[in-house]
Structure 1
Amino acid sequence: MNFDDVLSRIGGFGKFQKTLYVWICLPQILLAFHMLVSVFTGAVPPHLCRAAWPPAARPGPNLSFSLSVGPDASPDLSCAAPDTLPGVRLNRSATLALTEGSASRGCRGGWDFSKEVFQSTVATEWNLVCDNAKLNNIGSSIYMLGLLVGAVLFGALADKYGRRIIILIGLAVQATFGVGAAFAPNFYVYVLLRFVVGTTISAVIMNVFVLGTEWTGRKQRMLAGIITDYFFGFGYILLAGVAYFIRDWRKLQLAISAPGFLFIFYIWVLPKSARWLMAKQRKKEAMDLIRKAAIANGRPLAADFELCQEHKDLKDKAEENKYSVIDLVRTPKMRKQSLILFYLWFVNVLVYYGLSLNISDFGINIYLTQLIFGLVEMPARTITLFTLNRSRRISMFSFIAVGGLACLLTIFIPDELSVLRTVLAMIGKFGITASLSIVYVYSAEIFPTVVRQNGIGMSSMCARAGGVIAPVIYLLRSYSKGAPMVIFGLCPLLGAGLSLLLPETANKPLPDTIQDVERGMSSVDTEKMQEIHFQPCPRNSDVII
């Protein structure tokens, strides 16, 4: 038997796996909080320079003034001192009309921020507007850089030390530094603490996915990505409610971080990966876990059932061959598939966070938009359950193409039709969310066991590069307002074309070696390989490799 056959025998998705998925899914809620909280903690409310306002005429906390602008005055006044602009007259009778983002022109006394929506944000506390506005985007990019660093660092560590220990370390560090960010004394310390939190996001999100995949049977393994994604989507929705009731950024940061300490009980309940233990030649530990899973699933193994070692020559060869990320691009077929998957991860995350972190651009209430975008994730993930079993490749192509086309169409919608623009953005979010769910499953099935964690780690690194770039792309609005959405439209369309070059993996066995990928895995190939490479156990007929 290969390991997939073992899982079929003991139950590919029995009580043991269902319990495991409970432990895998719960942290996803907090991961969504950390990933998207900057939508609220980094928000920039309407603001005016307070330096030159006379005390009697200074705007209150809700900035209930209007500005009447003469023919020679700039229309963009949120960064300008009133006495520096010709033709400006104050009027108490109307609502403030202003736009954001111009360069500072003489504001030396700070800003008055509207408190109609937010009591406090990172931007209001540290004046991240006007000349300092770019720091907000840079801070988001540095956080995403943390995810990239975490993908590289913890991907390699997980292959060496195991998925479980890295998950436990990631959860502990995430809670500690997340709480620390709520008490940051300045913006730079805050960004540093968020950077560390970002590294732990990759540690957890990659390894819970791989752990679930490696314990799940062939027919049910697509659930490893989809089920956990549901809980991420639930966290997306729940964040809108939490942020609505907690409008001070420090309290909000504390509220999403402190519950992470509850995961300390994972030390006793989270299992190791038996497949990883077998790859590391830790036969006894793997056998103990397999027996435990079999009993939990109500399908106990015979008393004399045991793990058998591979043929000695193959074992020696495996020990001599130390796989690395270089092996992902060393051979022709593996190289082509790896590079395509790297790009698909990059573009999916680029567009996903490009849309998710800039919901204020669509002209609708920020809490409502967050809720809608979160709700869209549920049907997007659900529909993949019905399409993935038919074809991974066609599903990938279809959804990423829909996401790209919808984003591209938004550039033709005028600003006054904000509802229509939001609907198109929702369709784009729908397609990209479904595509992102699929690429997790697809990648785990294409990368062979010997480099699977390296492959997922490198893919995640490419994805995080997309996350780093996403906030920066919005700086292109100063040159062309539609530029970000053009990029978010064209890049997925290219990915759709490339996805057609990948192999179909639906209901196929997982490849274990790079040679499996090069020759093309099939059930016939698998049977032949077993006949050639594996010897039966001398004491019984049950063989596990």
Structure 2
Amino acid sequence: MDPTINVDEIWRKLGKFGRFQVVQLLITFVTIWSAAFSLMSSVFTGFKPSVQCAPIENITYYNESDVTTTLSVEYRECSVVFTKNFTNGTIKREETPCPAGYSYNVPRERSLVAEFDLVCGDDGLAEVAQMLTMAGMGLGAVLASNRLVSDRYGRKVVQVGSHIAIFLTGIGVAFVPNYTVLIVLRFISGALQQALAVVGAVLAMELVPEEGRFVCEVCGLLFWTTGVVLLTPIAYLMRYHTWRELQIALTLCSSYSLVQYWIQEESVRWLLINGKTDQAERILRKAAKWNNVNYDDVISSKKGNGSSCEINILKDTTMKYTQEEEELLGSDDEKAKSSARGFVVEHYTILTVFKNRYILQNSMIMWFTWMTDSLVYFGLTLAASTLAGNRFLNYFLSGAVEYVACFLEYHMMKRVGRRSITVIFHVTSASALLIATVVHFFGESESMVIASLVFTLIGKMAITGSFSTIFLFTPELYPTNLRNVGMGMSSAFARLGGMLSPFAGTLAKKVEWLPGSIFAFMCFLVALAVLRLPETRGVELPSTIRELELWHRKQKTKKEADDSMVMTSSSKQEQIKNRLLNNSR
């Protein structure tokens, strides 16, 4: 294998989307359905049926036979009202929490909310269960970002291990004996789901060259949307089954995880940057065979070409710097440049994010963006089935509108940069949600209700597009061995928003206009903050922090040069204008 390899060029020579890449991407993308089912299953397994106090069998127990002539009982949602008419003409009313338990409009075993009586005084426990799932996702994001896991031992280990664990945990949820065991398993499931999602996004992105990354991201969104939408017909067909049977049916999607280790390959980019050249060569030879391409032709024609992202794979490799790049790095970086002239595998930790000003600035903006997108997306999604009307239809429409986001994102990615797309989607979502809030608050007619729903769906579509875009945008801002750390930390901040999202409906009951207003305001703030990020479209993934710094400094130098040209042009125009004025006098 040649001493220097440009990984993007290798994938181009093998065929951007050859048979090998397509199969590997499908193996990765199908895990998205497992993640979607695991996260969203509670919409149907834990739906809230209509509830009322159960009838009291021994009503005479409450009758004071000595003095009471009549006793009437009124069964309410969370209490029973006893009205007693005494012989002396007085009337006494007593209200007590449901003494005989609860009665539901569906069999208790069809919803975990009914089976565990998570209603009335315990009504908030259903939201707590979903909140703990999000908290678990935050833990999973942190663990997945730890250098001792994915960036240290590889993407494949975490991907397959998390998937198998999700399968086992999902089966376990179907047999929980009580609420406590349920929330523990939901917490673990959330952690596993996030590890699966974070590593899967990185694994897919590292399987294609730069110009194909946006296609992978859109396909990832397409699979996620399909998973969200598929949940509806599966739940509908099993609407007369128990929630435990539905849980098992959804979990079976993950059963192929038991053989996934033998059919999924490790990231070639990760193998090369970590010096595992023999394994990388084996995978590339396999890819060449599958794609009917001559392996020797691929390798021999792809020596270093001056790209800022050449990957050093042998100990005698020399990092190539142009004269311009040497000047940009400056004399204080001689140590870094000299170390790059030998094979050095750089390992980073979470602390590395806080030591580099470029990475820290980008990270802080992305953390807020992820938190906002998670809060808005899950706040709108989880509330969909609780809206008036058919819960299956409402959830289906909320999921189906994400296909529009797939279509728009795909065509925008071909023409516009990641930063611009993120801004456009957030401004659209903020505007639509603000209009929906105003229309819903001031309008009471049926047409106004429909208009509010339409704008809410537009907001959901836009936030879906932005959420998908930052899954591509975020890892492009980090070097290879810090990429999982960056994705994991961003995703951990997203869980802060996700943990609050189940309570958006509760807040709306108290202050109807507040959730939509908060969502819109945060989206507007994100749109402004993202403008400070660098554009990554057309840039190969950086391999080291030095390459990332070089990229930032180049962009800064280019911006200063452009500003200087604008000022010079303006100055010349001013001189010409003054000269013309003087001549006219």
TM-score bracket for the superposition, by shorter chain length? 0.7 to 0.9
Q: What secondary structure, in the 3-state scheme, does the structure 2 residue paired with 1:45 have? A: coil
Within the candidate set 403, 412, 435, 1:409 is matched to 435
Question: 1:450 — aligned with what?
Answer: 481
Question: 2:130 — aligned with what?
Answer: 140
C-alpha distance in 2 between matches for 1:54 and 1:168: 57
Instruction: Please tell me whether residue 151 in structure 1 is matched to residue 141 in structure 2.
Output: yes
Question: 2:562 — aligned with what?
Answer: none
Instruction: Please tell me whether residue 34 in structure 1 is matched to residue 38 in structure 2.
Output: yes
Q: Is contact 1:52-1:82 (8 Å) kept?
A: no
Question: 1:111 — aligned with what?
Answer: 102
C-alpha distance in 2 between matches for 1:410 and 1:85: 48
Within 5 A, what are the aligned runs for 1:114-263? 114-115=105-106, 120-156=110-146, 157-247=149-239, 248-263=242-257
Equivalent residue letter for 1:519: L
Equivalent residue letter for 1:46: S
Instruction: Please tell me whether residue 279 in structure 1 is matched to residue 273 in structure 2.
Output: yes
Q: Is contact 2:373-2:494 (8 Å) kept?
A: yes
Q: Is contact 1:53-1:82 (8 Å) kept?
A: no
Equivalent residue letter for 2:428: V
Within 5 A, what are the aligned runs for 1:22-101? 22-50=26-54, 52=56, 77-83=76-82
C-alpha distance in 1 between matches for 2:542 and 2:503: 38
Q: Is contact 2:318-2:342 (8 Å) kept?
A: no
Equivalent residue letter for 1:78: E
Q: Is contact 2:275-2:345 (8 Å) kept?
A: no
C-alpha distance in 2 between matches for 1:411 and 1:383: 24
C-alpha distance in 2 between matches for 1:499 and 1:321: 29
Question: 1:13 — aligned with what?
Answer: 17
Within 5 A, what are the aligned runs for 1:289-304? 289-302=283-296
Q: Deviations over 1:166-206 (max 9, x none)?
A: 11111111011101101100011011111111111112111
Task: Name which of structure 1's ranges 300-309 and 178-187 shifts more when overlaid on structure 2.
Answer: 300-309
Q: Is contact 1:403-1:431 (8 Å) kept?
A: yes
Equivalent residue letter for 1:135: L
1:218 CA displacement: 1.3
Q: What secondary structure, in the 3-state scheme, does the structure 2 residue paired with 1:25 have? A: helix
C-alpha distance in 2 between matches for 1:36 and 1:336: 33
Structure-2 change in CA distance of 1:379 and 1:329 (3 Å): same
Instruction: Please tell me whether residue 488 in structure 1 is matched to residue 482 in structure 2.
Output: no
Task: Name which of structure 1's ranges 353-362 and 297-306 shifts more when overlaid on structure 2.
Answer: 297-306
C-alpha distance in 2 between matches for 1:314 and 1:10: 31
Q: Is contact 2:116-2:179 (8 Å) kept?
A: yes
1:491 CA displacement: 1.2
Instruction: Please tell me whether residue 327 in structure 1 is matched to residue 352 in structure 2.
Output: yes
C-alpha distance in 2 between matches for 1:213 and 1:240: 29
Q: Is contact 1:392-1:438 (8 Å) kept?
A: yes
Q: Is contact 2:35-2:193 (8 Å) kept?
A: yes
Q: What secondary structure, in the 3-state scheme, does the structure 1 residue paired with 2:296 have? A: coil
1:473 CA displacement: 3.6
C-alpha distance in 2 between matches for 1:190 and 1:465: 21
Equivalent residue letter for 2:79: A
Equivalent residue letter for 1:286: A
Task: Name which of structure 1's ranges 302-311 and 229-238 shifts more when overlaid on structure 2.
Answer: 302-311
C-alpha distance in 2 between matches for 1:338 and 1:491: 17
Q: What secondary structure, in the 3-state scheme, does the structure 1 residue paired with 2:103 have? A: strand
C-alpha distance in 1 between matches for 2:174 and 2:549: 50
C-alpha distance in 2 between matches for 1:434 and 1:12: 24
1:449 CA displacement: 1.6
Q: Is contact 1:13-1:217 (8 Å) kept?
A: no
Question: 1:357 — aligned with what?
Answer: 382
Within 5 A, what are the aligned runs for 1:374-393? 374-389=399-414, 390-393=416-419
Instruction: Please tell me whether residue 371 in structure 1 is matched to residue 396 in structure 2.
Output: yes
Q: Which runs of 5+ in 1 are unaligned?
A: 57-72, 87-103, 526-545
C-alpha distance in 1 between matches for 2:115 and 2:128: 17
Structure-2 change in CA distance of 1:84 and 1:490 (3 Å): farther
Q: Is contact 1:12-1:218 (8 Å) kept?
A: no
C-alpha distance in 2 between matches for 1:516 and 1:270: 30
Equivalent residue letter for 2:282: D
Structure-2 change in CA distance of 1:524 and 1:288 (3 Å): farther
Q: Is contact 1:362-1:422 (8 Å) kept?
A: no
C-alpha distance in 2 between matches for 1:470 and 1:273: 34
Task: Name which of structure 1's ranges 354-363 and 515-524 shifts more when overlaid on structure 2.
Answer: 515-524
Equivalent residue letter for 1:83: F
Question: 1:541 — aligned with what?
Answer: none
1:302 CA displacement: 1.7
Equivalent residue letter for 1:148: G
Within the candidate set 477, 488, 505, 2:508 is matched to 477
Q: With the length of structure 2 as denominator, give the TM-score of the two structures.
A: 0.78
1:416 CA displacement: 5.4
User: Aligned residues, how many?
Assistant: 491
C-alpha distance in 2 between matches for 1:434 and 1:301: 38
Structure-2 change in CA distance of 1:416 and 1:185 (3 Å): farther
1:316 CA displacement: 8.5
1:400 CA displacement: 1.5
1:489 CA displacement: 1.8
1:337 CA displacement: 1.0
C-alpha distance in 2 between matches for 1:360 and 1:522: 49
Q: Deviations over 1:215-272 (max 9, x none)?
A: 1011111122211221111111111111112232111111111332223221221000
Q: Is contact 1:362-1:421 (8 Å) kept?
A: no
1:294 CA displacement: 2.5
Q: Is contact 2:81-2:96 (8 Å) kept?
A: no
C-alpha distance in 2 between matches for 1:135 and 1:421: 29
Q: Is contact 1:348-1:436 (8 Å) kept?
A: yes
C-alpha distance in 1 between matches for 2:472 and 2:499: 23
1:438 CA displacement: 0.6
Equivalent residue letter for 1:49: C
1:323 CA displacement: 1.1
Q: With the length of structure 1 as denominator, give the TM-score of the two structures.
A: 0.84
Equivalent residue letter for 1:273: S
Q: Is contact 1:168-1:266 (8 Å) kept?
A: yes
Q: What secondary structure, in the 3-state scheme, does the structure 1 residue paired with 2:48 have? A: coil
Bigger-Rg structure (1/2):
2
1:331 CA displacement: 2.1
Task: Name which of structure 1's ranges 356-365 and 47-56 shifts more when overlaid on structure 2.
Answer: 47-56
Equivalent residue letter for 1:378: Y
C-alpha distance in 2 between matches for 1:397 and 1:256: 35
1:321 CA displacement: 5.0
Q: Is contact 1:181-1:194 (8 Å) kept?
A: yes
C-alpha distance in 2 between matches for 1:416 and 1:128: 34
Calculate the aligned-residue CA RMSD, in Å.
2.9
Task: Name which of structure 1's ranges 433-442 and 329-338 shifts more when overlaid on structure 2.
Answer: 329-338
Q: Is contact 1:52-1:81 (8 Å) kept?
A: no
C-alpha distance in 1 between matches for 2:247 and 2:345: 48
